[in-house]
Amino acid sequence: TIERLDYQIKFHPQTDNLLFEIPQNQERWCWCDALYMAAPTYALYANITGNSAYREFMDREFWAATEALYDEREHLFYRDTRLIGRQEANGAKVFWGRGNGWVVGAIARILDYLPTEFPSRPRYVRLFQEMMGRIVELQDPQGYWHTSLLDYQTYTSPETSASGFFTFALWWGINRGILSEKEYLAPAIKAWEAMVAAVHPNGMLGYVQPIGDAPQNITWEKNEVYGTAALALAGVEVARYAENNDR
């Protein structure tokens, strides 16, 4: 892992944009999934090795991706630059549910590894709070989120990898004192109950969108490992809250 991190820092391409269509850019974090896949690892290995270069590289690349993909008006991330300017059937912008789940999950894990004195730590906290404030507004009456966050008329089915990451982020934020318990506990409980309701009698989690990069409708029978992992992450935080509050 260290060899790969060192190689990436040394040989990452010097590009002046993060357009996804340019193959060279895909060696950088030009799609929002990558923020979860890579950034927390750099933050963690800075702690393990004592090499702050990993943390500094992570911080620089995270905010470069944010500048390219974050919509300041909607407080949501585009999956990549190809979706900027596109519209759903209802005229809304295209914001992929799981993609935004990857991002809030990434910020949570980064903050668990960043030193309290790290200069841009407050910036991560603000971004997390801003996104979660928007995300709770998009929770459906059953407690889920869908594959397209702004078009539940076209994408009618719930989606549990996005919902799982948002559930994790809600409980993680409450447990760390980053999200107000008074404001966020009710949607967090609703989200957890929705996730539990999506588990089949045999233990399989349903409504997980297959590997992809954009919204699509799915069914109760669909499952992928990352959906189950998101449920597990959320469950750990629910258990932590219960333990800390004698519930």
The residues assigned a catalytic role are: 33
Tokens representing 222?
């669909």
Residue entry with tokens 């990434």: 106
> How many Å apart are CA 245 and CA 247, to the nearest integer?
6
How far does the chain reach from its first CA to its final CA, in angstroms?
Answer: 39
> How many Å apart are CA 40 and CA 42, to the nearest integer?
5
Phi, psi of 90 (to 5 degrees): -90, 5
> How many Å apart are CA 224 and CA 209, to the nearest integer?
7
Tokens representing 231?
């449920």
